[in-house]
Structure 1
Amino acid sequence: MAKFIIVVFSFLGLLFVSCNDATNKRNQTDQLVVGQTVKTSLADSTIVYKTDNLLVHRLSNHIYQHISFLNTNDFGRVACNGMLVVKENEALVLDTPTDDESSLELINYVTKNLNSKIKVVVPTHFHGDCVGGLETFFEYNIPAYASHSTIELLGANGKVFSKPMIGFTDSLVLDIGNEKAYVEYFGEGHTKDNVVGYFPLDNAIFGGCLIKEVDASKGNLEDANIMAWSNTVRKLKQKYPTAKIVIPGHGIAGGTELLDYTIKLFQ
C-alpha cells in the first residue's frame, strides 16, 4: 500500500509540473508574432490590437505603443516601436509603422476602434523604421512634422514624398485634445537628428532609437555619434527625471531604468 501511495503522489507531481510547463509554453507562445518575440515589462499594459503586421499595446489611459516589423540584412526581422497619444478623440503618432500596410492598419484602428482623428504624425529621425509608412498618412491628409535636420537628411538620402513635411528647429508643441505634447531635440546619439516625444499627462517619453531597452546591444551605429550619445540621454533624464513610461525604438518599454542603461551603454 505504501508503495502504491508513493507511486500515485509521484504521478500527481509529474502531472503538476507538466501542466505548469504547458502553461508557461502557452504563455510564451502568446507573445510570438511570426517568429519575433514581442515583450513588455509594464504590468498594466494590454494588447488591444494584433495582426501579423501590427501590434498595439495600451500602456496607460492615453498612451499606446505600436509595434511593426522591418526586415533587415544585419538583424533579421526587427520589431519597431512607435508611440500613439490619444486624448479627447484626437491623436498624435510618433514614428510611422514600418510600411504602408501596417500604417493603414494603425490609422484604421485609431479612427474606427478609438473613434479618434489623427491630427499629426512626427518621425523622430530619418531612418526607414520612422518614415516607412508616411505616404499612407499623407493619403489620409494627415500632416507630418519633422525637424529641419530630419527633412534635410531624408532629402540627402533620396527619400522623396508626395507632400512636404512641416519643419521645426529644436522643439515643437502640439495640442492633443485639451492637453499638450512636446517634441524636443536633446543632441546627437543614434543619429544627428533624433528627437524625443513627451506627453506630460501620462508622464510618458517616446525615446525612439535614441533609447535602448535594458540589456540591448548598441545596435545600428551607421549614423551614430557614440561620443555624444550618453550626454544627450543625460540631458533628457535631467529634464524628465520622474518619467513613468519610457518607450525605446525597439524592445521592451519601461521606466527611467532605460535611460540609465542607455547612458551606461555608451559612456
Structure 2
Amino acid sequence: MKIFPLVTGVLLLFLLTISCKKEADKSNEVYSSETLKIRKLTDNVFMHITYLDTESWGKVACNGMLVIDSNEAVVFDTPSKSKVAKEFINWVENTKKATIKAVVPTHFHVDCLGSLNAFHDKEIPSYASLKTIKFAKKQGAIIPQHGFHNNFELKVGKNKIVCEFLGEGHTKDNIVGYYSKDKVLFGGCLVKTLKGKKGNLADANVKEWANTVDAVKEKYKDVKCVIPGHGKEGGIALLNYTIELFE
C-alpha cells in the first residue's frame, strides 16, 4: 500500500484549504495599509481594523463599524491614534465620497475614543452615553461632545442606527450599535469572537456580562451580522458564545 502519495495528497488538500480561506478573508478588503484595514461586510456596512499597542497583550487588532448610506456615514469607535484616524477619514471622504455625520465611541477605553480629536478637528460631531462621558472625564481622555442616556437614534441616509445601553459587561458603559437596514450589530468589546478569550477585565462586570449579551440577543432577534470589538465577525453564534463564556 502506498502511504506517501496519500499523505501528500491530504497535506496538499489541507494547504489549499488554508490558502483559500485566507483569500476568502481578503476578498472583501477594500483598503489596506500597515495601520488600517477596511473590509466590506454588506452593501452599506464596513468594518475598520486598526491596531493598539499594549503592555499586557502586545499589538492588538481593534474593530470598528462604518455605515455609509446615500453618501452619509456614521462611525463606531475610533482608532487609538490620530494619524490613523486621519487616514481613515480621508478614505471615507475622498474614496467613498461620503460625509461623516457622527462618530460614536461605544465605551471609554482608548481603542474607542483615542482619536476623537481628529474627528472634532474636521467638525464631525461625537455622541456617547453619559456614562462614557463621565468615565472619559475621570481618566482625562478626550470628551465626546454630545451625551445620551440609554438609547439614541442616528439617521444615515434614509435609515436609522440605534445606539443602546442594555447593561454592564466589558465596562459599565458599553453600548451596542444596530443598523436596521442590513441587520448588522456592532457589539464592540461586549461581544467576543468565536474561540476568543475573556480579555481585559479591568473595568468589567463579569457577573452581569452574560445577562447583558442575553438582553442584546433578545432585543435584536433578526440580526444577521455581528461585529465584535476584536477578531472576526460572524452571526448570532458570537452572542451565544459570549453568553456561554461568562455564564
TM-score (norm 2): 0.92
Deviation at 1:29, TM superposition (A): 7.3
Task: Say which of 190, 193, 196 aligns to 2:170.
Answer: 190
Distance 1:118 1:219 in 2: 31
Question: Is it true that 1:217 corresponds to 2:197 in the alignment?
Answer: yes
- SS of the residue corresponding to residue 254 of structure 1 reads coil
Q: Are residue 151 (structure 1) and residue 139 (structure 2) matched?
A: no
3-state SS in 2 of match to 1:120: strand
Q: Separation in 2 of the partners of 1:54 and 1:266? A: 31
Match of 2:71 in 1: 89
Structure 2 letter corresponding to 1:219 = G
Moved over 4 A (4+): 16-31
8 Å Cα contact 2:164-2:176 kept in structure 1: yes
C-alpha separation in 1, matches of 2:11 and 2:207: 50
Q: Quote the offset at 1:165 in angstroms.
A: 1.1
| Counterpart residue type for residue 158 of structure 1 | G
- Work out the CA distance in 1 between the residues paired with 2:73 and 2:114: 19
- CA displacement 1:30-53 (0-9 Å, x = unmatched): 79xxxxxxx68xxxx600000000
Deviations 1:50-106 (A, max 9, x none): 000000000001110000000111111100000000100000000012211221111
Q: Distance in 1 between matches of 2:18 and 2:211?
A: 41
**Distance (Å, rounded) in 2 between the aligned partners of 1:142 and 1:70:** 23
Residue ranges of structure 2 left out of the alignment (5+ in a row)? none
**Pick aligned residue for 1:226 from 194, 200, 206:** 206
- Report SS of the residue matched to 1:201: coil
* Alpha-carbon distance, 1:109 to partner: 1.0
Counterpart of 2:172, as a letter, is: K
Q: 1:232 to 1:110 in 2, by over 3 A?
A: same
Unaligned 5+ residue runs, structure 1?
1-5, 32-38
* Corresponding residue of 2:48: 66
Note closer, same or farther for the CA distance 1:29–1:60 as it changes in structure 2 (3 Å cut): closer
Q: Which residue of 1 aligns with 2:157?
A: 177
SS in 2 for 1:223: coil
Matches for 1:39-118 after TM superposition, within 5 Å:
46-118=28-100
Partner SS for 2:241: helix
Q: Give 1:167's aligned amino acid.
A: G
Which SS does the other structure have where 2:108 is aligned?
A: coil
Question: Residues of 1 paired with 2:13 and 2:206: CA distance?
Answer: 44
d(CA) in 2 for partners of 1:160, 1:106: 19
Give the whole-Å Cα distance in 2 for the aligned partners of 1:166 and 1:59: 28
Per-residue deviation, 1:27: 5.8
Structure 2 CA distance for aligned equivalents of residues 126 and 55 of structure 1: 23
Greater C-alpha radius of gyration: 1
Q: Kindly, what percent of the aligned residue pairs are identical? A: 44
**In the alignment, structure 1 residue 131 sits paired with structure 2 residue 113:** yes
Write the distance in 2 (CA, Å) between the matches of 1:113 and 1:20.
Answer: 39
**Contact 1:209/1:249 (8 A) holds in 2:** yes
Give the letter for the 1:63 counterpart: V
